């Protein structure tokens, strides 16, 4: 997708996201969005573009680590419940309770009994959330085998992206078909009329981000509650005899940019 077209539409959609959050705050709505899919499918990049224009005090990303020994003895959904939103909040789950249907099931981190119990309880758990008024949306980011391979290799080659490649990500490549089967079975049990899975084709990252954001906005029944007349900037306070301390009395960060400019060869 052409960058200029992408950036123009992203800017428009991000304005709408800000308007949507204003409505969520005013109405006391509770919004939960789940982002699932294969590793390197583009979930993180989409979440970043959603949160950029939003007030971080009222929009949180929940990316839970592996459960502790204590959490492993709790009801499976218990630690996720603690991250659900209060009135006026948006919570984006970068992976969610569906870990049990995916990585835990495929790699043997849960028993068959725990897996079957999850599949029975998950639809009821989500119905409880929806019945209580939570606006729940579930996204599955779908990426092809070749695109995943290319993105993994990019992370390996780029030192600034290597942190994104966990041992679990590498392990997922050797279980590619197992994850496909697990996803198909998960959809059978949890793709419900009241809580459907929305599949995002993610081979084209720019297109995937725009499609996901536009769809998310269509899922929230928001109205434009932003102020029609922006506040006016008040006049600056007069000096009133105040004098700044001498420059040499403070310690400034060295001007790294100036050193770069001096080192830059002049044109011609």
Residue 175 falls within a domain, yes or no? yes
pLDDT at 218: 98
> CA 23, 59, 206, 222: dihedral to nearest 10 degrees?
-10
Closest alpha carbon to 126 in 117, 136, 116 = 136
pLDDT at 170: 79
The Cα–Cα gap between 77 and 183 comes to 19
pLDDT tens digits, one per residue of 233-258: 899 888 888 888 998 999 999 999 99
Q: Is the pTM of this model over 0.85?
A: yes
DSSP 163: G
pLDDT at 173: 83
Residues of the chain under the 50 pLDDT cut: none
pLDDT at 6: 97
pLDDT at 267: 64
**3-class SS string, 178-237:** HHHHHHHHHHHHHCCCCCCEEEEECCCHHHHHHHHHHHHHHHCCCCCCCCCCCCCCCCCC
**CATH code, 58:** 3.40.50.300
Query: Helices then strands (H, E): number in the chain?
Result: 10, 5
Strand bridging mode 30-37 / 135-142? parallel
Range of the domain at 10: 3-219
The Cα–Cα gap between 43 and 34 comes to 10
- What is the tally of structural domains in the chain? 1
pLDDT at 268: 57
Residue 139 falls within a domain, yes or no? yes
Residue 237 falls within a domain, yes or no? no
pLDDT tens digits, one per residue of 164-216: 888 877 788 889 899 999 999 999 999 999 999 999 999 999 999 999 999 99
Residue 262 falls within a domain, yes or no? no
């Amino acid at each position: 997708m052409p960058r200029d077209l992408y950036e123009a539409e992203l800017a428009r959609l991000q304005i709408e996201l800000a308007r949507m959050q204003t409505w969520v705050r005013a109405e006391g709505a509770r919004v939960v969005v789940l982002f699932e899919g294969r590793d390197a499918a583009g979930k993180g990049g989409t979440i970043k573009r959603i949160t950029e224009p939003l007030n971080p005090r009222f929009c949180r990303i929940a990316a839970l680590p592996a459960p502790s020994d204590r959490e492993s003895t709790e009801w499976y959904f218990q630690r996720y419940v603690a991250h659900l939103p209060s009135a006026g909040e948006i919570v984006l789950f970068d992976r969610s309770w569906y870990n049990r249907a995916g990585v835990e099931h495929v790699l043997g981190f849960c028993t068959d009994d725990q897996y079957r119990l999850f599949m029975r309880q998950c639809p009821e758990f989500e119905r409880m959330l929806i019945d209580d008024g939570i606006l729940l949306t579930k996204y599955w980011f779908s990426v092809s085998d070749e695109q995943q391979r290319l993105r993994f290799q990019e992370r390996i080659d780029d030192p600034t992206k290597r942190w994104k490649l966990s041992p679990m990500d590498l392990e997922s490549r050797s279980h590619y078909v197992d994850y496909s089967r697990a996803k198909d079975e998960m959809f059978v049990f949890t793709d419900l009329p009241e809580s459907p899975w929305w599949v995002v084709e993610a081979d084209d990252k720019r297109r995937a981000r725009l499609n996901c954001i536009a769809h998310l906005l269509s899922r929230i029944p928001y109205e434009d509650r932003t102020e029609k007349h922006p506040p006016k900037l008040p006049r600056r306070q007069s000096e009133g005899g105040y004098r700044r301390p001498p420059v040499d009395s403070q310690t400034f960060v060295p001007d790294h940019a100036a050193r770069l400019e001096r080192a830059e060869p002049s044109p011609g």
